[in-house]
Amino acid sequence: MIGRMPAYRLLIAAFVVLTAAGVACRNAGSAQPDLNAGTFLTNANDTLLRLGIESSQAGWVQNTYITPDTEAMSARASEAYMTAATNFSKQATQYDAATVSDVERRQLTVLKSALTMAAPADPKEAAELAQLVASMEGMYGRGKFCQDGESGEACLDIEEITEILANDRNPARLREVWEGWHSIAPPMKQNYARFVELSNKGARELGFADTGAMWRSKYDMPADAFSRELDRLWGQLQPLYLSLHAYVRAKLRDRYGDQVPSDGPIPAHLLGNLWAQDWSNVYDVVGPPGGAKTISLTDVLRTRKITPVEMTRFGERFFTSLGFEPLPPTFWERSLFVNPRDREVVCHASAWNINSVDDLRFKMCIDQTEEDFTTIHHELGHNFYSRAYAMQPPIFRDSANDGFHEAIGDTIALSVTPEYLGKAGLVENAPPESADVGLLLRTALQRLAFLPFGLVVDSWRWQVFSGQVPPDQYNRVWWDLRERYQGVRPASVRGEEYFDPGAKYHIPANTPYARYFLASVLQFQFHRALTKAAGCTAALHRCSIYGNGEAGKRLKATLEMGASRPWPDALEALTGQREMDASAMADYYAPLKTWLDEQNKGRPVGW
């Protein structure tokens, strides 16, 4: 679910990165000094709500009925929205010194920090910037690996390459497709360097030191304090990561021999994923002997012929068991649950709130699998969040910070435990505790292995935006960071003729990435607090908040705040803590850490 472009966030900046073309010509940003803040904000709220609804409607039709026409209509609607959002952001700076109420000040702050890219005032430069981002996204979207003499259908696209990295166990083939995918990026490098110059210019016009500083300003704390905050959180989890890394490295060495060093970084192409950000695909290689003896929910869903709509009903019952209102009838009439046979749709799961109040929908091509069962709970988390903050003014209809929206859905997914499946009537007996290590290892390969990559992407970008890393050091610093944080290295020497950061979607698409790290940390902090409120005294990974009104009340209070308060207030309402705290994730995986350290006896740890 990481990397998903959340469709529920039509308001504010999420769309700015998608359709940068509109920044160009209507970049008015003109001052309206005679307008008082209240009038300005009323206009901003009304306009963004109206354009957001139009953009949602067009986007929904385009996603569920792909044709050139629906694509054009959707692009027009999101361009209109994005242009307005950009202008309001710029105009909000006019009120920096004005005397306004607390609520108005908060709305102005949220508006100002909403942009992920600020176009320079010079229309020519603004147009060039929009063009650069569109062309980099196009290069990424069209990216293919063509072997000698191949063209068209014979070339491998990202889905096929992903498939090979997940399932193929021939290291030569893995290296070949890994290098093949990274060959799409060098043509972007020059564009990226120019994009950095121009977007920094825009950010400086808004009063930020550079684009990276603008991104870090969204977190209700000084930009530098935010980077230190990330380092602090990582420090809480690094020992756990080192244990996992040492264990996985040894298992890969058993499989691949000397290609994997006994005490150095792991070759990045052997971890089952293009960016080594999710290692769950190599569970078959690194899992405990005999595999985890766990129930197969997939088998249960198939044998009992539980339909996609019924699977979704299970998700809804999770939320109503916490005290949330059932989903409106229109959710069941208007959502897309299966891949239709008669037309093209975007199958990538997403959650929507079309009218920004209660026209909730989701869109997913549901298979009867355990993975999709979990994803349903995750997506419904977005839906219930967006309905909970619908009574806020439109500018506040968003999560407390950008880590919260993803974290809420995943918090619920953490409560989809074997015990919950028992209570929900899906399995007869929950598996014994002896199966826990297998279960924990499987999720750690996904959630824990992700963390250092979640830091690398923006650590690199912040240094690039600040000018600390010039273009002739782009690739070296990228791999320095990946080695330092993740403990991985490339299969071969990667000089400055390559542009390996560009082979990750969020770089050409200019989507901030720290939010995914935050979401990973926050979901465990939420889970620990809610299960405690629910009175669960078992190990964290065995606790579920299903059916607990007390946990539900806390969750609801937080969701209803939306973005109306600085995020520490929302965090406190949910957890009683005002600081993010990664110790909950360490607690959750404590039994796994004990097991890993046992396995690692006599092995080198670290690199």
The region that residue 489 occupies, defined by phi over 0 for left and psi between -120 and 50 for alpha, beta otherwise, is beta
The minimum distance between CB 407 and Zn ion, in angstroms, equals: 9
Q: Residues 252-281 vs Zn ion: string with x where CB under 5 A?
A: ------------------------------
In DSSP terms, which residues pair with 360 in a beta bridge?
353
378 is catalytic: yes
Binding to Zn ion, residues 539-558 (CB under 5 A) = none
Q: Residues 71-110 vs Zn ion: string with x where CB under 5 A?
A: ----------------------------------------
Q: Please pick, among 140, 516, 588, 589, the residue that the annotation labels catalytic.
A: 516
Give the span between the Cα atoms of 366 and 307, in whole angstroms: 9
Q: Please pick, among 377, 382, 405, 541, the residue that the annotation labels catalytic.
A: 382
Nearer to Zn ion by C-beta: 1 or 338? 1
516 is catalytic: yes
Q: Are 311 and 367 in contact (CB under 8 A)?
A: no
Q: Residues 464-503 vs Zn ion: string with x where CB under 5 A?
A: ----------------------------------------
Give the span between the Cα atoms of 197 and 128, in whole angstroms: 11
419 is catalytic: no
Nearer to Zn ion by C-beta: 54 or 406? 406
349 is catalytic: yes
The minimum distance between CB 373 and Zn ion, in angstroms, equals: 15
Q: Please pick, among 316, 370, 406, 419, the residue that the annotation labels catalytic.
A: 406
Strands 350-353 and 360-363: antiparallel
Q: Please pick, among 31, 71, 72, 348, the residue that the annotation labels catalytic.
A: 348
Q: Please pick, among 44, 213, 276, 349, the residue that the annotation labels catalytic.
A: 349
The minimum distance between CB 4 and Zn ion, in angstroms, equals: 5
In DSSP terms, which residues pair with 311 in a beta bridge?
none
379 is catalytic: yes
- The DSSP symbol for 353 reads E
Q: Please pick, among 379, 419, 533, 573, the residue that the annotation labels catalytic.
A: 379
Nearer to Zn ion by C-beta: 9 or 482? 9
What tokens does 61 get? 């039709």
* SS3 state at 350: strand
The minimum distance between CB 128 and Zn ion, in angstroms, equals: 33
Binding to Zn ion, residues 3-42 (CB under 5 A) = 4
HSE value, Cβ hemisphere, 13 Å, CA-based, for 474: 21
Q: Are 373 and 307 in contact (CB under 8 A)?
A: no
What tokens does 264 get? 């150095």
Residues in the chain, overall count: 607
Give the span between the Cα atoms of 53 and 60, in whole angstroms: 10
Q: Are 181 and 158 in contact (CB under 8 A)?
A: yes
Q: Please pick, among 182, 378, 527, 541, the residue that the annotation labels catalytic.
A: 378
Nearer to Zn ion by C-beta: 2 or 297? 2
What tokens does 249 get? 């490295």
* SS3 state at 360: strand
| Span of 114-122, 289-297, 354-362, 405-413 interacting with Zn ion by CB under 5 A | 405-413
How many chain residues bind Zn ion (CB under 5 A)? 3
Q: Are 13 and 206 in contact (CB under 8 A)?
A: no
Could you give the angle at the alpha carbon of 136 between the alpha carbons of 199 and 60, nearest 5°?
95
Q: Are 364 and 347 in contact (CB under 8 A)?
A: yes
The minimum distance between CB 541 and Zn ion, in angstroms, equals: 21
> Footprint of Zn ion on this chain (CB under 5 A)?
1, 4, 406
Q: Which positions are catalytic?
A: 348-349, 378-379, 382, 406, 506, 516
